[in-house]
Each structure stands twice: as C-alpha cells, then as structure tokens.
Amino acid sequence: MGTGHAVAVYGAYGHTGRFVVAELRERGFVPVLAGRDAGKLEELAASGRGLDVRPASVDDPASLDRALAGTAAVINCAGPFATTAAPVIEAALRAGIPYVDVAAEIEANLDTFARFASRARAEGAVVVPAMAFFGGLGDLLATAAMGDWTAADEAHVAYGLSSWHPTAGTRAAGRVSRQRRNGLRVRYAGGRLEYRDDDPPTLEWPFPAPMGSRAVIGEFTMADVVTIPSHLSIPEVRTYMTVEAARDVTSPDTPAPAAADGRGRSAQRFLVDVVVRSGDTRRRAVARGQDIYAVSAPLAVEAVHRALTGRTKTVGVASAGEMFDALDFLHALSPHISLDSTASPSQIHRLSSIIDG
C-alpha cells in the first residue's frame, strides 16, 4: 500500500494523469495535484476530498520546487515530454525524490538518458522514463522473456490494439517528435537508431488467440527502441502496430477516448506480443488488457511503490526492466493485465518466417 506517502502528479488533470491520481488514491498514497493550469487543477481537486493543488510551470523552477516540497516522489504525466521532462527531473533531483514519467516520445526518452544518466547515478537518484504502456510494458516483457539470457539477436514487440483513439497529449507529442526528426520515420537496427524516408513494411503477425493473425505496420517504432537496448544487449529491436490502430492514431478525424466502464476506461483492448531470438531459439511473453492509457497508471504507481520501498535493482536513469525485477513487477500488475508465455508450434513456425525475413 501507499502508507500515506504524498506523491506529486505533474499534469494531474490530463487524461493519463487522472488515471494516475485515481490509482494513487486506491493504493493509499496521497496525490498532490500539480501542473500548469490552476483552473483545471482546482476542478480536479473538487472531485475528491483533501487533494492539495500546486500550480507549477516548467519555465519556473521555484514553482516546481514548491510543487514537490514534502512529497516522496513525482510522476510526470504532462506531455510533450520534450518540454516537461528535463525541468521536472531537475526539480526531483533538487528535492532528492524518485522521478517517474509516462513518456512515449522516443526523442524525449533519449534526452533523459543522455542528459541525466551520469548525474543521477552519482547522486544515487531513481529516474525511470517511459514507465507506461509504450516503453515500459514492452521492456518488462522483453526482460522477462530473456530470462537467463545475457544477450539476444533480436527483440520484436507487436502491438495488437483493437483501436487507438488518441488523446490531445498523444497528438501533441506526435507533432513534436515528427518535427524533431524532420518528418522521417525511425527504426532501431545494427545497435543504433536509423532515420528513413521510405514507407514502413506491412506484414501479417500471428498474435495468440483469440486475436489471431493480423495485418501490422512493421517498424511502427515506439519507445521500446530506447528502453530495451538501454540495458539489454540486443542489436535489433523492432516494433509493430495493427493496421487499424495505426490508421486511427494518424487520422485527424479519430475522436478522443471515451469512458466505457465505471473506472473511466475506454473499450479498447490490447495484446502486446514480445518475442526475443537468440540463434535458433525464441522466447515469448504476452500481455493482455484494456485501455493503453488507463494501464499506464498502475505501471507508474507500482514503480513509485517499489522505489519507495527499496525494491530497485540500480540507481540513476534506468528503464523498467533494468530498475525492477521484471517478472515480479509483471505479476504485481495481475489485476490489470493477464500474462502468457506460450506459443503453439505453428505460431513459432510463422514467427520464424517473419523474424528471419
């Protein structure tokens, strides 16, 4: 449980931020509502008793210091993270508290590793970027699938989303990323990021039942290409997205997610299928659940809980799979996701034909 620890949530009134606030309260933490818009913070505070409101701007370090004063940790839910991550990390380092964010932006996560790795390690700080559906969950699954392997030839992360109604934050982050890479797409191959101007491939991915084989966009690159190779010796990391979800998220006409249950989750279902290959051997880990934004909340809150209870494996800037015991962490998420590591012989054969090209 949260044992009454106060945890600042920067961007608390955003779509994912609201899920994080609810998850913190459910687990016994005391959320402190922080962000740029005082009016939205007050509106959110009115929905629950005893919520502390602390407006803060990333261009005002003193306001960030006030927002984090007396808190045990901070979860940054405010995108675009290219703008917010560094200032909030700086404030967390000044406060001497763990920092967790839900950034899906590839470039913002690269910036966090590049800018803060040495300093955070020297200060014994805990900084966990991309502790969310994209970046965090895939990394935990890949790390768990690796098991006793110390290296692998390839990691493949296939996202089977029934739909993808993007939030305003997702759209804003996407615009920033496209601008930063001059409209090019990115993939991770040969141990480095490559920027390309050609079209990504489309292929069939044999998802486990009941989803089954689905058309996916290959090299639909997500934050896993930052988190996985940050600590696992894997020179090829590829991510895939179901065609329907890719079409949804790129269409300007797709509406924002709408609540479909009492917890505020949308009807979206997801399946994350991770395969790692070493030589002729393949290992697989699969997670299923509902609503990619909602599930980011237990991922981030569990990370804070473990950081505050000493259940970390390292210090500095580290992805989920390096900072925590991956398999144990995944099992702790059982109320929110279901896990599977099995594959039929026919699926292994089809995976082999896809992975081996």
pLDDT tens per residue across all 357 residues of the chain:
456 899 999 999 999 999 999 999 999 999 999 999 999 999 999 987 779 999 999 999 999 999 999 999 999 999 999 999 999 999 999 999 999 999 999 999 999 999 999 999 999 999 999 999 999 999 999 999 999 999 999 999 999 999 999 999 999 999 999 999 999 999 999 999 999 999 999 999 999 998 999 999 999 999 999 999 999 999 999 999 999 999 999 999 999 999 999 999 999 999 999 999 999 999 999 999 999 999 999 999 999 999 999 999 999 999 999 999 999 999 999 999 999 865 444 444 444 545 555
212: left (phi over 0), alpha (psi -120 to 50) or beta: left
pLDDT of residue 4: 81
Structure tokens that stand for 115 in this block: 């800018």
CATH class, domain 133-292+329-355, is: alpha beta
pLDDT of residue 357: 53
- Whole-Å CA distances, 202 to 9, 74, 86, 135, 271: 38, 39, 36, 22, 18
Q: How far apart are CA 328 and CA 204, in angstroms?
A: 31
**CATH number 2.30.40.10 given to 6-132+296-327:** no
- pLDDT tens digits, 287-322: 999 999 999 999 999 999 999 999 999 999 999 999
pLDDT of residue 356: 54
Residues in the chain: 357
pLDDT of residue 48: 75
Q: Cα 79 to chain center, whole Å?
A: 13
Mean pLDDT, all residues of the chain? 94
Q: How many CB atoms lie within 10 A of CB 45?
A: 18
Q: Residues of CATH 3.40.50.720 domain(s) within the chain? A: 6-132+296-327
Amino acid at residue number 262: G
Amino acid at residue number 132: A
Q: Residues of CATH 3.30.360 domain(s) within the chain? A: 133-292+329-355
111 near 86, Cβ under 8 Å? Answer: yes
